[in-house]
Amino acid sequence: MQQDLTEMFVRGVVHDPRLEGIYITDINVDRELAFANIFVSALEGQEREAEILAGLNHAKGYLRSQLASKIELRTFPELRFFWDPTPERAERIEHLLDSIQAEREKKDPLND
């Protein structure tokens, strides 16, 4: 499902400018196949969260029908979209680690 959905965004199947530059970070489908929780992020980060989630919720019926035609299931789950802050958190942690390393090098330039 993640691969098919990603391919739909890359190929521009959904013609909504709000959905440019997004990527799927994870998908969880419950056992009863009632819901597919889809976690998304964007290259620009959280500043576009509301805009992207609004675009996805607007297109979810179309996305669901397209996925259902590609993936054969008894019943196809309802799509629910959530923002995934993990990429921003990882970037922030990386920045903090770089700052700590730079501070250490400033204090003791001879010791690596």
98 found inside a domain: no
The total number of residues written for the chain in this structure: 112
d(C-alpha 32, C-alpha 43), whole Å: 33
d(C-alpha 66, C-alpha 77), whole Å: 12
CATH number of the domain to which 51 belongs: 3.30.300.20
Domain residue limits at 63: 2-84
92 found inside a domain: no
Q: Is the pLDDT of residue 112 over 70?
A: no
* More confident call, 50 vs 11: 50
Convert the pLDDT of each residue in 40-54 to its tens digit.
998 888 888 999 999
107 found inside a domain: no
96 found inside a domain: no
- Sequence-distant (6+) residues with CB within 8 A of 79 are 36, 38, 60, 63, 64, 67
Convert the pLDDT of each residue in 74-102 to its tens digit.
889 999 999 998 867 777 778 788 888 88
Cβ atoms of 1 and 67 within 8 Å: the answer is yes
